[in-house]
Structure 1
C-alpha cells in the first residue's frame, strides 16, 4: 500500500468508529477485507487511526469537518505535512482536496485544543489543578512501551542483553527498579525469545511502581482481588517468591493467566470465591481509564457522567467487600489507572469515613509526566 492508500483506509475506519463501531472491531473488519495489506500496512493504518482518536476534537477543527477524511487532513496539518502531498487521487489515495477543504480548518480552542470533552476537561482541572494541562497534553501523544523484568527468570542486565540480541533496545527507568523502556523494536517483543521464556512482561512503569510500593515479603498471604489479565498478580508473585491468589468478577479475564504464570515461573492460584483472610489484598478496580487514554483513547469519547457515576459506586462496593478479606493488622491496597479525584482520593476519604479505625498509610497520584500512565494508589491498614 502507498502512504496515500493507508490514509484512505484509515479514513474509512474512522468513519466506522464515528458511527459507533468500537475501534478494534473497526480495524479488524478492515484488515479482514484487505488481504493485500501487509503487516507494515496494518500497523501504519492503525497508527493513523489511533493518532486521530487521541486528537479527535482538534483534528476535526483543523481539518474543517468531522469525517475521517477531514480529521486526517487536520492531523497532517498538526504534523506539518501538506495534505496535498498525500491527498492526490492517484491510485487508492484519497481524492485531491477541494477548494473548500483547502481554505477550511481553524485552530482549536480550550478543551477542544486539549482534546477532551468539556465536562472531563473541567473534572480533570478540578482533580489536578495546575498539572491538568500537562496531563491532557500527554494524553494526545503515543504512550511509551515498558517491560517488567521478571526476577524469577533473570535480572535487568540479562534482560537487556537478551532483548538487544533480538533487535530490541531498552533503557532503565527511575520509576520502578525492574522497568525497561523500549526505545527501538517494540513490535518485535511478542515474538522475542525473552518474552516467550518469561524473562520480560509488558507492563506500564507506573503499574510496576504501584506493586513495587507494596510491603511484600516471602510468606505473606496475598490476594489480587481484581486480577484481570493478571499482570500485577505476576509482579507480586515475583516479589514474594510464593503463591499469590487471583480473583476476578469475570473469570474469563484470567483465561490466559495460567499460561502466563507458567511462562513466568510464578505460582498463581485462581480463586472463584476468596475465603478466609489475607495479609495483603490488592484491588485494581474498574475505572474510567483516564490515566491510560494514550493507549485506549476511545475511552475519552465514550465515557459519560452516568457511566463514571456507576464506576464510582462499583469501586466503593469492591473496597467494602475486600476490606472483609483483610486480616486484622493487614493491608488493603487500592489502585486505579485514573487521574480523576472522584475515583481516587475521594474514594479513599469515603472509605475511611465508612470504616472507623482504618488508617491511610500512603497514597500517590502518578501522572504521565512521571513517565508512565496516570495511576493512583493508596494503602489502607486494618486495625489489629
Structure 2
C-alpha cells in the first residue's frame, strides 16, 4: 500500500470508530477484508488510527471536521505535513481537498490543544498540579513498549542480550529493576524465542514498579483479586517463587493466564468466587481495581473519550465494594495493595482515605504515585495494613 492509501484506510476505520464501534473491532474487520495489506501496512494504518484518537479534539479542530477524513487532515497538520501532498485522489488516496479544507485554522488552545475533556479539566488540574499540561501533552503521544525480565530464569542483562541476538534492541529502564525499554524491532518481540520461552513478558514499566514496591514475605499467601491477564501475579511469582492465587470477577479476562504462567514457569492458581472463602485468609491481597484508566490513555485512548461523570461516579462505588470485600479476605496483620492506573485523586488518595475512615482497624502505610513523566504509565499504589 502507498502512504496515501494507508491514510485513506485509516480515515475509513476512523469513520467506523466515530459511528460507535470499538476501534480494534473496526481494524480487525478491515484487515480481514483487505488481504492485500501486508504486516507493515496494517501496523502503519493502526498507528494512524490510534494517533488520531489520541488527538481527537485537536485533530478535528485542525482538520475542520470530526470525521475520519477531518481527523486525518488534522493529524497530518499536527505532524507538520501538508495534507494536499497525500489527498491526491489518485489510486486509493483520499479525494483532493476542497477549498474550505485548504483554509488552515488557527492553532487550537486550552483543552482542545491538550485533548482534555472539558468536564474533567478541574479534576485533572487538582490531581496533577503543575504537571497538568506536560502530562496531557504526553498523553497525545504513542506509549513506548516495555518488557519485564523474568528474574526466575535469568538476569535483566541476560534477557537484554537474548533480545539483541534476535534483533530486538532494548535498554534498561530505571523505573523498575526488571524493566527493559524496547527500541528497534519492538513489534517483533512476541515472535522471539526470548518471549516464547518466558524470559520476558510485555508489561509497562510503571506496572512493574508497582509490583516491585509490594512487600513480599517468604511463604506469604498472596491473592491477586482483580487479576485480569495476570501481569502483576506473574511479576510477584517471579519475585517469590511461591504459588500466587488469582481471581477476577470476569473469568474471561483470565483466559490467557494458564498459557502465560506455563511459559514463565510460574505457579498461578485460579480461584472462582466460591473458592475464595475456602482459601482465605491471605497475607496479601493485590487489588488493581477498575478505574478511569487515565494513566494509560496513551495505550487506550478510546477510554478518555468514553469516560463521563456518571461512569466515574459509578467506578467509585465499584472500588468501594471491592475494598469492602477484600478486607474480609485478609488475615490480621495482613496487607491490601490497592492499585489503579489512574492519575485522579478521587480514585486514589481520596478513595483509600475514605476506606480507612470507615474501617478503623485498617491503617494506611504507604501512598506512592508514578507519573507518566517518569516514562511509564500513570499508576498509584497504597498499602493498607490490618491491625494484628
Could you tell me the TM-score, scaled by structure 2's length?
0.98
SS at match of 2:175: coil
Cα drift, residue 218 of structure 1: 2.4
For 1:177 and 1:25, the matched residues in 2 are separated by 36
CA contact (8 A) 1:220 1:240 kept: no
For 1:249 and 1:76, the matched residues in 2 are separated by 42
1:280 aligns with 2:279: no
Which of 304, 308, 311 is equivalent to 1:304? 308
Cα drift, residue 98 of structure 1: 1.4
Unaligned runs of 5+ in 1: none
Cα drift, residue 104 of structure 1: 4.1
For 1:105 and 1:185, the matched residues in 2 are separated by 38
Q: Which residue of 2 aligns with 1:126?
A: 126
For 1:378 and 1:132, the matched residues in 2 are separated by 22
Segment drifting more, 303-312 vs 99-108:
99-108
SS at match of 1:218: coil
Q: Which residue of 2 aligns with 1:325?
A: 329
CA contact (8 A) 1:10 1:45 kept: yes
Cα drift, residue 135 of structure 1: 1.1
| CA offsets 1:96-148 (integer angstroms, 9 cap, x no match) | 11111111433111111110110122221121111111111110000010000
Q: Which residue of 2 aligns with 1:271?
A: 271
Q: Which residue of 1 aligns with 2:9?
A: 9
Q: Which residue of 1 aligns with 2:318?
A: 314
For 2:180 and 2:32, the matched residues in 1 are separated by 34
Q: Which residue of 2 aligns with 1:165?
A: 165
For 1:127 and 1:27, the matched residues in 2 are separated by 34
Cα drift, residue 320 of structure 1: 1.0
SS at match of 1:184: coil
For 1:70 and 1:180, the matched residues in 2 are separated by 37
Cα drift, residue 213 of structure 1: 0.5
Q: Which residue of 2 aligns with 1:360?
A: 364
1:331-346 mapped onto 2 (5 Å cutoff): 331-346=335-350
1:111-150 mapped onto 2 (5 Å cutoff): 111-150=111-150
For 1:283 and 1:66, the matched residues in 2 are separated by 38
Unaligned runs of 5+ in 2: none
Q: Which residue of 2 aligns with 1:294?
A: 298
For 1:318 and 1:66, the matched residues in 2 are separated by 38
For 1:48 and 1:62, the matched residues in 2 are separated by 16
For 2:24 and 2:322, the matched residues in 1 are separated by 29
| CA offsets 1:217-272 (integer angstroms, 9 cap, x no match) | 32111010000000001101111111000011111111110111111000111111
Could you tell me the TM-score, scaled by structure 1's length?
0.99
Q: Which residue of 2 aligns with 1:153?
A: 153
SS at match of 1:330: strand
Alignment coverage as a number of residue pairs: 384
Which of 359, 373, 376 is equivalent to 2:377? 373
Q: Which residue of 2 aligns with 1:54?
A: 54
1:65 aligns with 2:65: yes
Cα drift, residue 357 of structure 1: 2.8
Q: Which residue of 2 aligns with 1:87?
A: 87
SS at match of 2:234: helix
- Runs (4 or more) in structure 1 with deviation over 3 Å come to none
CA contact (8 A) 1:217 1:239 kept: no
SS at match of 2:183: strand
1:230-241 mapped onto 2 (5 Å cutoff): 230-241=230-241
1:176-191 mapped onto 2 (5 Å cutoff): 176-191=176-191
| CA offsets 1:310-350 (integer angstroms, 9 cap, x no match) | 11110111011111111101111100000111111110110
Q: Which residue of 2 aligns with 1:351?
A: 355
For 1:162 and 1:104, the matched residues in 2 are separated by 49
1:29 aligns with 2:33: no
Q: Which residue of 2 aligns with 1:254?
A: 254
CA contact (8 A) 1:64 1:106 kept: no
| CA offsets 1:51-107 (integer angstroms, 9 cap, x no match) | 000000001111111111111111111111111111111100111111111114331
